[in-house]
Amino acid sequence: MVQSAKQKQWKSVLAPWQQIDWLLLLTVAGLTGIGSLMIRSTELNQGLSNYWWQHALLGAVGVGLVLSVSRLRYERLVDATWIVYGVTNLSLLLVMIIGVTASGSQRWIPVAGFNIQPSEFAKLGLIISLAGLLHKNTAAQLGTTLKVLGIVALPWSLVFLQPDLGTSLVFGAIALGMLYWGDANPGWLILLISPGISAILFNVYLPAWLMWVALAGTLALWTLPWRWWGFFGALSINLVAGRLGQLFWDLLQDYQKDRLILFLDPSQDPLGGGYHLIQSRIAIGAGQLWGQGLYQGTQTQLNFIPEQHTDFIFSAVGEELGFAGAIIVLLGFWLVCLRLIIIAQNAKDNFGSLIAAGTLAMIIFQVLVNVGMTMGLAPITGIPLPWMSYGRSAMLTNFLALGLAESVMNYRHRLRF
């Protein structure tokens, strides 16, 4: 009888969160805990002692945010879609006016002694804005797809000019992921990224570039409603993309150019732009199967990788926890992505489904690029590892996005009268 009363008491306490995905929340909390542990390891011999507990404290605040946001009805954001979009762009404009510059980039706004990075919160603002558009108009209509590109163009440009190449790439991934989930023709998505691929191939291997241009033209002929106009348009855009790529290349900072080039052969500048990548690969390789042990990694403890607690935290995981620890972390992210897909599939409306899909696109792209760059499989772009890299704005953004996804799960059943 007593046990029954306790069960009823617990049920009444948990009633507001009965429908949320607890496995998803616990997995994210576990990844945050591992992140705190590894950040502490990177601090031990650097004279630092506060990043790890700040990360853990912010993680606890983030879990509270998830529980709070999941109780709110996400569908109320539908009417505030354009307000969110306006605030997002306004915050990015403020960065250009009163922002703080560091490492050649103007990305932060000082607020009450803390530096806030609006471009991180802009990711969530973009997800809400695109969900507000696509839930009414399917992306199967070419006009809707063009509207999405127009919506993305303004915040993308403001972030690119900071310059923040990594976040601008995340914006592109969010747009493509939500367009795909919104039933856009996959051929259109390939055509959207074709100029970028053409720009790269033009400067790498001309025969491959010519083949890609021909493929883009053929794809446009098959998928676009204006068959021959689309064919010649796709050919023209991809033919001039090489020159456009050179213009965009000139807009990048020198350190960004080094990051994009040196991942192919970091030995070209082992003490400069290639240093981080060389040391990261040494650290991950030294971990072997079971790792060198927590707080025992030579590359990590001897500070061979500067600022390892941020973008290169996965190299500490690989060195000290080994292949086994790295696989556990990757399985954790896999589970997060799987649960987000389930939420998107079971949402009661398109708006909620698109929010979950946008969150999924944001998380999976950041994980793939961050882990890839620590191993030399992707350029170094300054994209943090969600919930594990130190960074207040990025951490809060990920938790807020998770809270919205949990709200979609919590209110997946339609109201009954």
SS (H, E, C) the chain: CHHHHHHHHHHHHHHHHCCCCHHHHHHHHHHHHHHHHHHHHHHCCCCCCCHHHHHHHHHHHHHHHHHHHHCCCHHHHHHHHHHHHHHHHHHHHHHHHHCEEECCEEEEEEECCEEECHHHHHHHHHHHHHHHHHCCCCCCCHHHHHHHHHHHHHHHHHHHCCCCHHHHHHHHHHHHHHHHHCCCCHHHHHHHHHHHHHHHHHCCCHHHHHHHHHHHHHHHHHHCCCHHHHHHHHHHHHHHHHHHHHHHHHHCCHHHHHHHHHCCCHHHCCCCCCHHHHHHHHHHHHHCCCCCCCCCCHHHHCCCCCCCCCCCHHHHHHHHHHHHHHHHHHHHHHHHHHHHHHHHHHCCCHHHHHHHHHHHHHHHHHHHHHHHHHCCCCCCCCCCCCCCCCCHHHHHHHHHHHHHHHHHHHCCCCCCC
**Which whole number is the average pLDDT over 329-353?**
96
pLDDT at 132 over 70: yes
Please give the angle made by the CA atoms of 391, 311 and 320, to the nearest 5 degrees.
110
Task: Note whether 169 and 381 are within 8 A (CB).
Answer: yes
- pLDDT at res. 324: 96
At residue 208 the predicted structure's pLDDT band, cuts being 50, 70 and 90, is confident
- pLDDT at res. 49: 65
* Placement of tokens 């390892």 in the chain: 308
Distance CA(274)–CA(286), nearest Å, equals: 18
Percentage of the chain modeled with pLDDT above 70: 88
pLDDT at 55 over 90: yes
pLDDT, tens digit (0-9, with 9 covering 90-100), for 90-126? 999 998 888 777 666 667 788 777 788 999 999 999 9
- pLDDT at res. 230: 86
Q: Can you say how many angstroms the Cα of residue 321 is from the centroid of all Cα atoms in its chain? A: 24
- pLDDT at res. 47: 67
Average of per-residue pLDDT values in the chain:
87
What six digits make up the tokens of 164?
Answer: 């923040």
pLDDT, tens digit (0-9, with 9 covering 90-100), for 61-95? 999 999 999 999 999 999 999 999 999 999 999 98
pLDDT at 317 over 80: yes
pLDDT at 391 over 80: yes
Residue 271 burial (C-beta neighbours within 10 Å; 0-12, 13-18, 19+): exposed
pLDDT, tens digit (0-9, with 9 covering 90-100), for 300-316? 888 888 878 888 999 99
Beta bridge partners, 116, equal 109
**Which whole number is the average pLDDT over 49-63?**
92
**Which whole number is the average pLDDT over 6-26?**
72
- pLDDT at res. 1: 44
**Which whole number is the average pLDDT over 242-269?**
70
pLDDT at 234 over 70: yes
- pLDDT at res. 417: 44
**Which whole number is the average pLDDT over 113-141?**
91
- pLDDT at res. 137: 86
Please give the angle made by the CA atoms of 173, 174 and 175, to the nearest 5 degrees.
90
- The lowest-confidence range among 79-83, 200-204, 328-332, 392-396 is 200-204
- The lowest-confidence range among 65-79, 175-189, 227-241 is 227-241
At residue 251 the predicted structure's pLDDT band, cuts being 50, 70 and 90, is low
User: Pick the residue with more confidence: 90 or 7?
Assistant: 90
- pLDDT at res. 253: 67
At residue 19 the predicted structure's pLDDT band, cuts being 50, 70 and 90, is confident
